[in-house]
Amino acid sequence: MPATMPTSTAQDTAAPVATADKRYIICMKWGDKYGAEYVNRLYNMVSKNLTLDFEMVCLTDDASGINAQVKCYPIPELNLPAGLPERGWKKLTTFKPELYDLKGTALFLDIDIVIVDNIDCFFEYEAEHADSVVIIRDWKKPWRMVGNSSVYRFKIGQNTYSNLLTNFEKNFVKISGEVRHEQAYLSNYLREHHHLEYWDKSWCVSFKYQCIRPFPQSLVQAPTLPDNAKIVIFHGEINPPDAIQGGGGKWYRHVKPSPWLKDYWQ
């Protein structure tokens, strides 16, 4: 049965049980780039690879076709100018102090990732600071200390990060001139006002940078899964169906098929 978008009534928004030790998987879907099947596959992968109790939440503008086990809520509004290019700014709304009465520890996952091993460790990881957000350290330029927000953990429904959004909305023109996307702003803000920590570098791997062989080997060698990987991240032009089938744009970016991904992405 298709999931339905909760209304803003007190009964609906108060439905989740608010406990400080509750675990949430949060994802976000908007626009028409990804269909409901991406959310459903993510739910299946989490259910298979997380042994701890959890509740999955999808913030979306269209809940049709999403598994009824996933609680769907509208994406909170951001007070930004209209007609902006897509930079993932909507992700920042996960840091609202009051997010549909959800309280506990949240692990945000992009809906185009592939989970390849048990992910209990993402909840069991002990951060050095209570206000830390734990995130992927970007692969391309790690010296910049910018996180990749495909996988990040934070305390949800608290005032800890209450100024993160207000600062962003108030100073958007200046911030958008300094950074290109939400993960750069998030990383910079947290390093200045809170704490930013990074996952074990073997846990989250980039399909683009770590699975695909360097050119020209990529023309003859198929992508492989690095040792100890738990989640494969897709960024750029390739998504899981493309990676499984193989292909690409220009001849020097051709990717050989990765049928092994089918065993996980289902």
pLDDT at 233 over 50: yes
- Domain ranges within the chain, ordered by starting residue: 10-198, 204-263
Strands (E), the chain: 23-29, 55-60, 71-74, 104-109, 114-115, 132-137, 147-156, 195-198, 204-206, 231-233
pLDDT of residue 79: 85
d(CA 103, CA 22): 7
Distant-in-sequence, close-in-space partners of 116: CB < 8 Å, separation ≥ 6: 225, 229, 230, 231, 232, 264
CATH of domain 10-198: 3.90.550.10
pLDDT at 8 over 50: no
d(CA 66, CA 142): 36
pLDDT, one tens digit per residue, over 40-98 is 999 999 999 999 999 999 999 999 999 999 999 999 998 887 777 666 899 999 999 99
pLDDT, one tens digit per residue, over 130-185 is 999 999 998 887 777 899 999 999 999 878 898 999 999 999 989 989 998 899 99
d(CA 209, CA 226): 11
The partner residues of 164 in beta bridges, in order of sequence, read none
Nearest to 118 by CA among 226, 26, 229, 244: 229
d(CA 56, CA 43): 7
d(CA 67, CA 37): 9
pLDDT of residue 12: 42
Alpha-carbon distance values, 213 to 201, 209, 219, 235, 237 (Å): 18, 8, 8, 16, 16
pLDDT at 6 over 80: no
pLDDT at 246 over 70: yes
pLDDT, one tens digit per residue, over 183-226 is 999 999 999 999 999 999 999 999 999 999 998 999 899 999 99
- Split at pLDDT 50, 70, 90, the class of 20 is low
- Split at pLDDT 50, 70, 90, the class of 21 is confident
How many CB atoms sit inside 10 A of residue 259's CB? 11
The mean pLDDT of 8-28, rounded to a whole number, is 63
The radius of gyration computed from the CA coordinates of the chain, to the nearest angstrom, equals: 18
Nearest to 93 by CA among 111, 71, 78: 78
Distant-in-sequence, close-in-space partners of 60: CB < 8 Å, separation ≥ 6: 5, 28, 29, 30, 39, 66, 72, 73, 74, 75
With tokens 């209570």, the residue in question is 130
